[in-house]
Amino acid sequence: MILTRPYHLVVRFANITNKYLLYRCSSSTDRCETISAALKQFYLKVHPDLFSQYPKEKDVNEKSLQLVSAYLSGLQRKEYMASISVTFFTKSSSKSSPPAQISLISHRITLNSNVLLASVNSILTALNLP
């Protein structure tokens, strides 16, 4: 498997973010590692660098990622966070169409829980991630 530069940047970003989450997490280590691993999947699916061919969607993902990051950071600090709604685009390749055919899917996520784990689960559920 040959890794392209954007993929390398996404993995690097996810690893830096995971280290930050593990450092900042105030609960048990197992729970922190679970949250960190789940968020890595999320970042690998929506990171703006993956959408360089789609500038509008890249911008939407970048702004939404910043909002989600601030929201989750606030929850880690045990702050009250007002509800937010964000949109993310993901890529989907159809098996029935030509291999190069990629469609973009819009996902609307509303975060209104003041519990970190519940918020992460909302994100994963909205993007159909395990």
pLDDT, tens digit (0-9, with 9 covering 90-100), for 68-118? 999 999 998 999 999 999 999 999 866 655 666 789 999 999 999 999 989
Contact 22, 33 (CB under 8 A): yes
Q: How many Å apart are CA 93 and CA 82, to the nearest integer?
A: 35
Q: What is the pTM of this model?
A: 0.71
> What would the mean pLDDT of 9-38 be, rounded to a whole number?
54
